[in-house]
Amino acid sequence: MREPLLHFLVAGLAVFLFFAWRGYDIDPASRRIIIDEAQVSRLGKGFENNFQRRPTARELDGLIRDYIKEEIYYREALRLGLDSDDPVIRRRMRSKMEFLARAKAESAKPDDKALQELLDRNPGKYASDSRYSFDQVYLSAFDPEIAGAKAEAVLAKLKNTSDWQSLSEPLSVPSRLDDTPRGDLAKIFGQQFADELTQLSDAPKDQWLGPIGSGFGIHLLRIRKVTAAAKPKLSDVRQMVENDWRAATLEAREAKAYQTLLDGYDVKITKP
């Protein structure tokens, strides 16, 4: 009764009986492979997703045989301990964990307070464009001195005539634009034109102004109406703000999740 070997055998028998009673296989890498209907359906669905058709009976049998072969080699590799101390497998497992951590971080839902704070910090980014209604006289001169003199001469004529369209040179863009968003104007005339037009938003209406430059040349404008962009409501731009919140906070949320895991470990480092 005092033999350590006897104690070891009794303890082993107790463990065996316990797991037998619970119904667990004492070998974690079981030699029993069960291919149930659900697994067969998954194999068939995977084939269908790849080839856009259902597998034939012969193809399905081949998928099952390949799955069994993969399962056997996987279990035998586990029995041989090939998953231990393998840098390739360690990196693969790390990649999977990082993928799961990122997926969890990306699925986080921000509250309205966080989104409203982000919206308040940069309302112009989410506001709809200001809209402009104006008439234009186009002049093709690109030389600054010639353009300036030409514009002054045409401005003087515009004050004394109602036939302003006859003073404009031909241009593919209409001479009269109505309720056009600033972003569309930037696409048509260029960013310089849109920026200079914005600076004229508070200028007197229905008066000829300019010139301002564009990718075409120079323009004299008579602004008839400016509709300022309203500060957006969170309910109207929620998805845009939420996307920006995810992008801006993803790295910090991933770092916080890792720190939570790290806090659960006792790490000891001994340097030479």
DSSP letter at 120?
A: H
Q: Identify which of 96, 67, 91, 75 has the alpha carbon closest to the alpha carbon of residue 32.
A: 75
Claim to verify: residue 118 and residue 237 sit in the same structural domain: yes
The answer to whether 139 and 151 have CB atoms below 8 angstroms apart is: yes
Structural domain ending residue among the three candidates 206, 227, 248 = 227
pLDDT one digit per residue (tens) for the chain, 272 residues: 555 545 444 455 444 444 444 343 435 457 888 889 999 999 999 999 999 999 999 999 999 999 999 888 888 888 888 877 788 888 888 888 888 877 777 777 888 898 998 888 877 677 778 899 999 999 887 666 677 788 888 988 998 888 999 999 999 999 999 999 988 999 999 988 988 888 888 888 999 998 888 888 889 999 999 987 778 888 888 888 888 888 888 888 888 888 887 888 887 877 77
pLDDT at 25: 44
Claim to verify: residue 55 and residue 70 sit in the same structural domain: yes
Structural domain ending residue among the three candidates 209, 227, 245 = 227
The tally of domains found in the chain comes to: 4
Q: Identify which of 96, 130, 119, 67 has the alpha carbon closest to the alpha carbon of residue 248.
A: 119
Structural domain ending residue among the three candidates 227, 246, 263 = 227
At how many degrees (to 10) do helices 234-263 and 112-121 cross? Answer: 110
Claim to verify: residue 258 and residue 205 sit in the same structural domain: no
Burial of 193 (0-12, 13-18, 19+ CB in 10 A): buried
B/e letters for 203-228, b = 16+ CB within 10 Å, e = fewer, are: eeeeebbbbbbbebbbbbbbbeebee
Claim to verify: residue 37 and residue 121 sit in the same structural domain: no
Q: What is the pTM of this model?
A: 0.44
Q: Identify which of 99, 104, 40 has the alpha carbon closest to the alpha carbon of residue 66.
A: 40
Claim to verify: residue 115 and residue 161 sit in the same structural domain: no
* Domain of residue 242, residue span: 85-127+233-272
Give dist(CA 166, CA 173) in Å, integer. 15
Q: How far is CA 182 from CA 33, 40, 216, 230, in A?
A: 66, 57, 17, 13
Claim to verify: residue 93 and residue 24 sit in the same structural domain: no
Claim to verify: residue 150 and residue 169 sit in the same structural domain: yes
Question: Which residues are registered as beta bridge partners of 225?
Answer: 133
Claim to verify: residue 7 and residue 141 sit in the same structural domain: no
Give the CATH number of the domain where residue 132 resides: 3.10.50.40
The answer to whether 180 and 131 have CB atoms below 8 angstroms apart is: yes
